[in-house]
């Protein structure tokens, strides 16, 4: 459906994209995930046609659309600030694009009502958008983007201006709405939790390049490089030349694993007594910090000979400053690209 072939872009001497190649299948939600300034919004603008000075190709339905103007691409756009018209009521905001496309009044009225129902805003058609909450404005902006039946929906940090609790709730709603509409979508965010909730597939970007892409589970379980691991909040990244690390890996029954210069010890493979297996021996650690997260505790612990480990547990096993035994499962030791 959509193919990006070695797309590169620069602002003067500053390179913002380097040979980015990605594809999007019909009905799929692809999330561009990465820190601010990594190139994800620039890539979105190139796909939309808002940025035309680039190298490479943007192919949609087997057609190079590089010369196709924005208004003829048939793509829907939704931005972080929603870009609603403050002087128009909710229904009029949604109907704005339909009027410009020449739909008649009856068609517009029917379509607006269907969209209000789809985004959970039935009865809001005459409400002043200035009186709406942040989440309600987000739904209006989404309905307006869906109104023209876009061939592709693009969302640039659509939840970025909302608080964390509301982001978690609306991320799931966004995915359900996009899927129920049968749309393909590209979703830009810097929040990996948001990406996990929304995406079918994630492309993690840094300094203009795609460092890894795959399903949310694949990217989280098997990060390809140290940057991806750390960006996803997996902090147990170590250099393999550290002799203290060799001792720690020996306790995991896998001292020879990993030929690269860095490895990740995945926190999901650090267990307490219940995680013991025949091929692991316990490692004694001292609990350094414990942060309560509601359903779990985030812990950091140190060994007498090795680096600090971060992992989570359901119940706090000992008090801070006390010792406990942990088991590192062999599959938790993941070699990383440099």
202 shares its domain with 236: no
Confirm if 146 and 96 have CB atoms less than 8 A apart.
no
Token pair for 159? 């939840």
Alpha helices by DSSP H, 16-74: 40-48, 70-73
**How many residues does the structure list for the chain?**
338
Q: What is the mean pLDDT of residues 17-41?
A: 95
CATH of the domain at 179: 3.40.50.300
CA dist 236 and 219 (Å) reads 16
pLDDT band at 307 (very low <50, low <70, confident <90, very high): confident
**Model pLDDT, residue 171:** 86
Note the pLDDT of residue 258: 45
Query: Do 216 and 108 reside in the same domain of the chain?
Result: yes
Q: Would you give the end-to-end CA distance of the chain in angstroms?
A: 32
Q: Is residue 90 located within the same domain as residue 204?
A: yes
pLDDT of residue 256: 41
d(CA 170, CA 192): 15
Whether residues 188 and 257 fall in one domain: no
Domain end position, chosen among 224, 239, 256: 224
Contacts of residue 84, Cβ cutoff 8 Å, sequence gap at least 6:
93, 129, 137, 140, 141, 144
In eight-state DSSP terms, residue 161 is T
Q: Quick check: 80 pLDDT over 90?
A: no
CA distance 179 to 133: 24
Q: Which residue in 152, 133, 172, 121 sits closest to 44, CA to CA?
A: 152
The total number of structural domains in the chain stands at: 2
pLDDT category of residue 317 using cuts at 50, 70 and 90: confident
How big is the CA angle at 92 (ends 89 and 93), to the nearest 5 degrees? 85
**Residue 261: DSSP 8-state:** S
Rg (CA), the chain: 24
Distance from C-alpha of 301 to C-alpha of 288, rounded to nearest angstrom: 5
DSSP state of 269: G
Would you say residue 160 has pLDDT above 60? yes
Q: pLDDT tens across 293-305, in order?
A: 888 999 999 987 7
Give percent of the chain with pLDDT exceeding 70: 91
At which residue do the structure tokens 């267990």 appear?
271
Closest CA to 18 of 208, 206, 203, 205: 208
CATH number of 262's domain? 2.40.50.140
pTM of this structure: 0.86
Domain co-membership, 252 together with 218: no
Predicted confidence (pLDDT) per residue in 201-230, tens digit: 999 999 999 999 999 999 999 999 999 999
Whether residues 80 and 211 fall in one domain? yes
Asked whether residue 197 carries a pLDDT value surpassing 50, the answer given is yes
Mean predicted lDDT score pLDDT of the chain: 87
> Rounded CA gap, 203 and 212, in Å?
6
Structural tokens at position 331: 């599959």
**pLDDT over threshold 90, residue 99:** no
pLDDT for the residue 244: 61
My answer on whether 117 and 209 are in the same domain is yes
Supply 154's token pair: 């693009």
Report the C-alpha gap between 64 and 214 in whole angstroms.
Answer: 25
Same domain for 173 and 287, yes or no, is no
Domain identity same for 163 and 244: no
Is the pLDDT at 2 greater than 60? The verdict is: yes
Q: Kindly report, residue by residue over 230-266, the tens digit of the pLDDT.
A: 999 999 998 876 666 666 665 554 544 444 578 999 9
Mean pLDDT, residues 143-164 = 85
DSSP state of 68: S
> CA-CA distances (angstroms) from residue 268 to 13, 219, 275?
42, 14, 10
Q: Which domain holds residue 90?
A: 2-224
Domain boundary, last residue among 204, 224, 244:
224
H helices of the chain, in order, are 40-48, 70-73, 90-100, 105-118, 134-146, 164-180, 192-198, 216-221, 226-231, 243-251
Q: Tokens for 282?
A: 């316990």
Position 257 scores a pLDDT of 47
Nearest to 46 by CA among 6, 80, 84: 6
**Whether residue 311 is found in the same domain as residue 236:** yes
* pLDDT for the residue 249: 67
């Amino acid at each position: 459906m959509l193919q990006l072939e070695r797309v590169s872009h620069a602002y003067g001497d500053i390179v913002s994209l380097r040979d980015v190649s990605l594809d999007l299948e019909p009905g799929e939600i692809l999330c561009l995930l990465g820190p601010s300034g990594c190139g994800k919004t620039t890539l979105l603008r190139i796909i939309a046609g808002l940025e035309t000075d680039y190298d490479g190709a943007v192919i949609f339905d087997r057609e190079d659309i590089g010369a196709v103007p924005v208004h003829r691409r048939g793509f829907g756009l939704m931005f972080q600030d929603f870009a609603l018209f403050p002087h128009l009521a909710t229904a009029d905001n949604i109907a704005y694009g339909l009027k410009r496309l020449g739909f008649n009044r009856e068609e517009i009225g029917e379509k607006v009502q269907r969209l209000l129902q789809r985004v959970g805003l039935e009865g809001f058609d005459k409400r002043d958008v200035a009186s709406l909450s942040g989440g309600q404005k987000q739904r209006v902006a989404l309905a307006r983007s869906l109104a023209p039946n876009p061939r592709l929906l693009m969302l640039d940090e659509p939840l970025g201006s909302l608080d964390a609790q509301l982001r978690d709730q609306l991320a799931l709603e966004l995915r359900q709405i996009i899927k129920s509409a049968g749309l393909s979508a590209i979703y830009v965010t810097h929040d990996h939790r948001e990406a996990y909730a929304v995406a079918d597939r994630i492309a993690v970007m840094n300094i203009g390049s795609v460092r890894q892409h795959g399903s949310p589970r694949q990217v989280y379980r098997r990060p390809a490089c140290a940057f991806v691991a750390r960006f996803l909040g997996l902090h147990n990244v170590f250099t393999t030349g550290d002799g203290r690390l060799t001792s720690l890996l020996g306790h995991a029954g896998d001292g020879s694993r990993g030929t690269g210069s860095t490895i990740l010890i995945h926190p999901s493979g650090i267990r307490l007594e219940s995680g013991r297996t025949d091929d692991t021996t316990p490692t004694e650690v001292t609990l350094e910090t414990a942060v309560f997260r509601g359903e779990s505790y985030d812990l950091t612990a140190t060994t007498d000979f090795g680096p600090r480990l971060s992992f989570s547990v359901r119940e706090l096993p000992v008090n801070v400053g006390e010792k406990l035994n942990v088991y590192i499962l062999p599959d938790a030791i993941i070699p990383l690209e440099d």
